[in-house]
Amino acid sequence: MAPSKVKPTNVNSLRPADINVVMALGDSLTAANGADAENALEILLQYRGLAFLGGGDKGLDGHISVPNILRKYNTNLFGQSYGIGSSDVWDIAHLNMGYPGAESGDLAGQANQLVGLLQKHSDVNGYTAADFASKIQKAIQIVKDSVPRVLVNLITMFQFEMVRGVDQGQGFCQGLHLFECECELDKNFTNPEMKNVSIAYQIAEKQLEQSGIFDSDDFTLVTQPLFNDVTSPPKLANGSVDLQFFAPDCFHFSQLGHAVVSSWVWKNMIEPVGSKTTQANLSGPALPLSCPDSSCPFVRTVQNSKNCQQFYTPAAW
């Protein structure tokens, strides 16, 4: 699919081939900790090149990631990560600022770091949903104030109870999760309570999108809800948990996991707001990979999901 004939100045007219730069903020999932690990110690390694949102390793023929999909539309895409390393190694991380242990309170700092890199290179424990969303809002606002022509993908919170599903019968996983997610092992914290917390976070994220505070001609925020209704981990044909989806700590995604999640994120990006998949089948990728609708050949936003023709622009060829 061709890019727009004229570089779009309105984010609602954004074709996949118009995207020139990818950037990411987040935690150890964004950094792809343990994605290609063969043992628990290698969970410490950040396999950024395999990250579902920011990885550029192997190309689409070797690994599905959102940047690798986008490079099929624009071979000059920039910002994706390559290889193994931390967020402060430019040649590896590029514009993926996520790092292990980061919390919502750290996003503003990551956003400032990101803006600093863009200017340099031309080539906390908020457990309430309101605090969580406020910190995300602060980070996005920093980007909006400093970087033109941006579409922000906000991947909504997954259901915490899914982690408990991974642990069933897996003593090794339970031991590791004691350090990674204490609440998961708290028997007084019931699955319904976990579900309610997850839903509260998801609602707060959706409210950021619905508020319209980030909607302008050259900037917008779109929530991608693929995890919203996923309550159980990926399964094998025999009904057992597919541990190949996870790194050896049974929490972070493996290379396979990042590839599967990437395909569902991409599907969400092409689906209209209000009609997005909310229960990705993590037992397999969303294949064949989705293509933009010929009647609305753009990355879907709140505004172009209401009236696509309003933003229609001609393709380059």
Q: Delimit the domains of the chain by residue range.
A: 11-295
Write down the pLDDT at residue 124.
34
Instruction: Go through 208-233 and write b for each residue having 16 or more CB atoms within 10 A of its CB, e for each that does not.
Output: bbeeeebbeebbbbbbbbbbbebbeb
- Report the C-alpha dihedral over residues 299, 304, 305, 306, rounded to 10 degrees: 180
Write down the pLDDT at residue 182.
67
User: Would you say domain 11-295 falls under CATH 3.40.50?
Assistant: yes
Write down the pLDDT at residue 1.
83
pLDDT surpasses 70 at 179: no
Lowest mean pLDDT of 178-187, 215-224, 263-272, 301-310, name the range: 178-187
pLDDT surpasses 90 at 44: yes
pLDDT surpasses 90 at 119: no
- Report the C-alpha dihedral over residues 131, 132, 133, 139, rounded to 10 degrees: 100
Write down the pLDDT at residue 63.
98
Q: Give the residue with greater pLDDT, 263 vs 162.
A: 263
Write down the pLDDT at residue 123.
53
pTM here is 0.79
Write down the pLDDT at residue 200.
93
For residues 201-208, average pLDDT: 96
pLDDT surpasses 60 at 125: no
Q: Give the residue with greater pLDDT, 164 vs 199.
A: 199
Q: Give the residue with greater pLDDT, 223 vs 118.
A: 223
For residues 54-77, average pLDDT: 96
